[in-house]
A and B are shown apart, each in its own frame.
Chain A
Amino acid sequence: MFNNFKYLVREGLRNAWANRLMTLASVGVLVCCLVLMGSAVLVSVNISHAMKWLQDQNVVMVFLNSTVSGSDASYTVSDVRNQILSVDNVDENNIEFISKEEGFQSLLDRFDEKLRIIDSLGDTANILPDAFRVGFKDPTRYETTVQQLKNLDVVYTVRDNRKYAEKLMGINKTVTVVGVWIVGLLLVVSLFIITNTIKLTMMVRKLEISIMKSVGATDWFIRMPFLVEGIVIGLTAGILSFALVSYIYSAATSAISSIMSAGALPYMSMIWWLLLAFVGSGVLSGALGSLFSIGKYLKDDGGVSGD
Chain B
Amino acid sequence: MKKIEAVIKPFKLDDVKDGLSGLGVQGLTVSEVKGFGRQRGHREIYRGAEYQVDFVSKIKIEVVVASDLVPDAVEVIKEKAWTGQIGDGKIFIFPVEEVIRIRTGEIGEEAI
Answer yes or no: are A and B bound together in one complex. no
